[in-house]
Structure 1
Amino acid sequence: MDELKPGPRQLLQELFQTAVDAAHPELTLPAALPQPPKGRTVVIGAGKGAAQLAQTFEHHWSGPFEGFVVTRYGFGVPCDRFEVVEAAHPIPDVAGQKAAERMLSMVQKLREDDLLIALVCGGGSALLPMPPDGFTLEDEQLLCRALLHSGMPIRGMNAVRKHFSGIKGGRLAEAAAPARVVSLVVSDVPGDDPSEVASGPTVPGSAARAEALDWMARYDLNLPEQLEQAIATAPEAPIPDDPVFARNTVSLLASANRSLEAAADLARSRGLPAVILSDSMEGEARELGRVSATIAREVATKNRPFKSPIVLLSGGEATVTLRQNGRGGPNGEFILALALSLKGVSGITALAADTDGIDGSEDNAGAFADAGTISRIREAGQDPQALLDRNDSWTAFQAADDLFTPGPTGTNVNDFRAILIDTCKV
């Protein structure tokens, strides 16, 4: 929805923008920059906000450096001293594979007095495909599709991806030794574990091969035998205690928690109480939507556990188990399930959107919902429950004129959800 109506939706959009602004590189990156080294400085980056991080970096780094980042198609911004490459997300492509190979080649040349700075943010997993020896990009694409369709939470996906990669799970930092590595991370994962962001190319984690196999069995990925065997026999990913990482450091630049706190502060400055339910909600998007609707209905009809007016904020990463190939993403599925569960309860307006500006397969970040949303969908000749059943939230909200389309934001701290309950104005 390009032109917002005044009132509740305008407020929700302002809360979203405040959350995004709180993660802007100009606010978060400069103070985290290390001192220049005796030797060379190489700066690499991957993720949906990597180009914006690179642009800010070159504004604040006075010394020489070599810079290379990869971001999603359409997410690049002009840089003077960085080479910015765009590649496919969420299914990797040849451009991403070439970027990963180039990045690995750059860091393998570093020496002890050199410095590698890694600008890492969400989306980097798909943008850095590097299948193991003997496998192809098509194999990694197949694995990626299986993971995305499975409904597996992000930590499970990452455990699997780290064991089918020559660059993830700390392997890029391992290849950079003996140089010092400084990882500057924008978190888009529940719990803000930096080793999970972009599958941790420069930050080793604790996920072992056995954990990857357990996730695969629990979600019945049904991969070709050669892919399952490759993961079952893959070398263990590097562990944080390995001496090769002893000089390396990690800084968290931005996170869902910090962005939600900024949104809550804005709401309170407007005289509106705000509660952050959680910054790390994860699970099936439609189930999270139904639970959130139950809480909102309780507030609207019984003034418990909070009193109206209030705004309920949450973040994290919802997932979708694809039943059919509809259009949309997790935030659309969340808000459609919420709207169906509320069944026209008045005094509630909600927004769910991805902070990177893109939710799933289309160009919207998410969608709005209020008491009239389901009626508008039906008046347009669509069946909202049938659309939810076939994972087609985009069609539902396009019919209702409820899409939220801010465009790429330049950052990514995952899902943003705001439910405004104001029964006093009904």
Structure 2
Amino acid sequence: MNEQTIERALLQRMFEAAIAAAQPALCVPPALPEAPKGRLIVIGAGKASAEMARAVERNWPGPLTGLVATRYGYAVPCERIEIVEASHPVPDAAGLSAARRMLDRVHGLSADDTVLCLISGGGSSLLPLPADGISLEDKQLVNQALLTSGASIGEMNCVRRHLSAIKGGRLAAACHPARVVTLLISDVPGDDPRDIASGPTIGDASTCADALDIIRRYRIALPEHVLEVLRSGRGESIKPGDPRLARAEVRMIATPQMALEAAAQVAAAEGVTPHILGDSIEGEARDVGKVMAGIALQAGRRGQPFATPCVLLSGGETTVTVRGQGRGGRNVEFLLSCAIALQGEAGIHGLAGDTDGVDGQEEIAGAWIAPDTLARAWEHGLRPRDSLDNNDGHGFFQALGDSVVTGPTLTNVNDFRALLIVR
């Protein structure tokens, strides 16, 4: 096994450990509530929600019913909880129908009942119930515009909450007077519960005016009747302290930090010192790539700020302001920018991927880089800077055979980035 194969195998094991740490089978059972006097109704949405539902079924001793929505291809067999597949990241009619049925399921509950809400990343698109006066087509337009605007995930979800009939605490309010216990797998920087699936069971202090400011800041063009929902205040979310949320509680069961710590343990066991630089790093993917490359170069050449061998680990969610016609993906954009900045520096290898197995809109988790990445690209007739300018990270790495493909991981704790410096 040559040196490059050894480094790639170590990076792969770190990525796998990060994903394993957030598996619902591990983190759901300890967080389950006690049995209620009345019924247990399970609802939820997200890329991990089906696997979360299966973990509930396998560990809940009494009766239950339920409905959760997950991404196409992410369903798993359940016996008592209905699993609906819908579209992500752009919502579709299946998600709309699931959201309506979910609200119907929690209508008319009593104080003796408990609603167990299973929420993970992706829920914003999978529960697309528009506010009055807004159509599904409007929501699709808004989602597409937000995804290409360069707005952060927190900013995008602020807009979504104020154009929804189910997000921003509205789902929990609909469950009143039942108890609501929400289990969250975080995919957002800072683990703010409001931003995980746009917080359907979380009180939201942001306002319609905040949403309008974001739309102006990024010059997002929306139809007048959509803007009117915000200008009129009709889209206002449920605020913290609302009496309908008095019996709603949140349990954070998996986070990006937990995943990074699991990866760090793998590195340490191999004699490589891990350094977690942050679990909530945001910004333009290409800019973050340049910065991380600069730190890696200083470590490799000067032993500063870290002695080698070491690995620089980070998580969070970067953004890509789309200007080209390529296939996108924030992790591959990060890596391509990083590779260009490294210029083939010896001894530096990297992996970046989305822990849900989907980077952008591709069924590809991410990619690898190595000291020979740019040289092999030129041999294949690729121009790395042109690929970056065209937002075509997926096309670039797929042509080199360096894509990382995991298939559906059934969880989601956002992005995983690792730069391994071995000299």
**Aligned twin of 1:202:** 201
In the alignment, the residues of structure 1 paired with residue 255 and residue 185 of structure 2 have an alpha-carbon distance, to the nearest angstrom, of 6
In the alignment, the residues of structure 1 paired with residue 123 and residue 224 of structure 2 have an alpha-carbon distance, to the nearest angstrom, of 27
Contact 1:280 1:315 in 2 (8 A): yes
1:89-109 Cα distance to aligned partner (Å, 9 max, x none): 000000010011111111113
Moved more, 224-233 or 113-122: 224-233
Contact 1:112 1:180 in 2 (8 A): yes
Contact 2:72 2:87 in 1 (8 A): yes
Report the 3-state secondary structure (helix = DSSP H, G, I; strand = E; otherwise coil) of the residue aligned with 2:5. coil
2:84 is aligned with what amino acid? V
**Aligned twin of 2:297:** 297
**Aligned twin of 2:262:** 262
**Aligned twin of 2:182:** 183
In the alignment, the residues of structure 1 paired with residue 263 and residue 120 of structure 2 have an alpha-carbon distance, to the nearest angstrom, of 21
Q: Within 5 Å, give how 1:75-154 maps onto structure 2.
A: 75-154=74-153
In the alignment, the residues of structure 1 paired with residue 4 and residue 43 of structure 2 have an alpha-carbon distance, to the nearest angstrom, of 41
Moved more, 273-282 or 226-235: 226-235
2:357 is aligned with what amino acid? G
Contact 2:163 2:235 in 1 (8 A): no
2:115 is aligned with what amino acid? L
**Aligned twin of 2:192:** 193
Shift in Å, 1:153: 0.2
**Aligned twin of 1:420:** 420
2:366 is aligned with what amino acid? G
Report the 3-state secondary structure (helix = DSSP H, G, I; strand = E; otherwise coil) of the residue aligned with 2:139. helix
Shift in Å, 1:5: 6.9
Report the 3-state secondary structure (helix = DSSP H, G, I; strand = E; otherwise coil) of the residue aligned with 1:7. helix
In the alignment, the residues of structure 1 paired with residue 261 and residue 113 of structure 2 have an alpha-carbon distance, to the nearest angstrom, of 37
In the alignment, the residues of structure 2 paired with residue 339 and residue 31 of structure 1 have an alpha-carbon distance, to the nearest angstrom, of 41
Q: Could you list the runs of 5+ residues in structure 2 that have no partner in the other structure?
A: none
Report the 3-state secondary structure (helix = DSSP H, G, I; strand = E; otherwise coil) of the residue aligned with 2:288. helix
In the alignment, the residues of structure 2 paired with residue 83 and residue 16 of structure 1 have an alpha-carbon distance, to the nearest angstrom, of 31
In the alignment, the residues of structure 2 paired with residue 371 and residue 356 of structure 1 have an alpha-carbon distance, to the nearest angstrom, of 27
**Aligned twin of 2:344:** 344
Contact 2:277 2:314 in 1 (8 A): yes
In the alignment, the residues of structure 1 paired with residue 188 and residue 289 of structure 2 have an alpha-carbon distance, to the nearest angstrom, of 19
Shift in Å, 1:180: 0.7
1:402 is aligned with what amino acid? D
Moved more, 227-236 or 312-321: 227-236
1:35-93 Cα distance to aligned partner (Å, 9 max, x none): 11111110001000111101111000011111111100111111122111110000000
| Number of equivalent positions | 420
**Aligned twin of 1:237:** 237
Q: CA RMSD in A?
A: 1.2
In the alignment, the residues of structure 1 paired with residue 231 and residue 325 of structure 2 have an alpha-carbon distance, to the nearest angstrom, of 30
Q: Within 5 Å, give how 1:278-289 maps onto structure 2.
A: 278-289=278-289
Contact 2:67 2:102 in 1 (8 A): yes
Q: Could you list the runs of 5+ residues in structure 1 that have no partner in the other structure?
A: none
Moved more, 207-216 or 227-236: 227-236
In the alignment, the residues of structure 2 paired with residue 132 and residue 170 of structure 1 have an alpha-carbon distance, to the nearest angstrom, of 13
Report the 3-state secondary structure (helix = DSSP H, G, I; strand = E; otherwise coil) of the residue aligned with 1:327. coil
2:253 is aligned with what amino acid? L
Shift in Å, 1:6: 3.0
In the alignment, the residues of structure 2 paired with residue 107 and residue 189 of structure 1 have an alpha-carbon distance, to the nearest angstrom, of 27
Q: Does 1:9 align with 2:8?
A: yes
1:7 is aligned with what amino acid? I
Report the 3-state secondary structure (helix = DSSP H, G, I; strand = E; otherwise coil) of the residue aligned with 2:340. helix
How does the TM-score come out when normalised to structure 2?
0.97
**Aligned twin of 2:30:** 31
1:117-166 Cα distance to aligned partner (Å, 9 max, x none): 00000000000001111221000000001100101001100110001000
Residue 59 to residue 342, structure 1, CA distance change in 2 (3 Å): same
**Aligned twin of 2:314:** 314
In the alignment, the residues of structure 1 paired with residue 75 and residue 136 of structure 2 have an alpha-carbon distance, to the nearest angstrom, of 23
Report the 3-state secondary structure (helix = DSSP H, G, I; strand = E; otherwise coil) of the residue aligned with 1:42. strand
In the alignment, the residues of structure 2 paired with residue 291 and residue 5 of structure 1 have an alpha-carbon distance, to the nearest angstrom, of 23
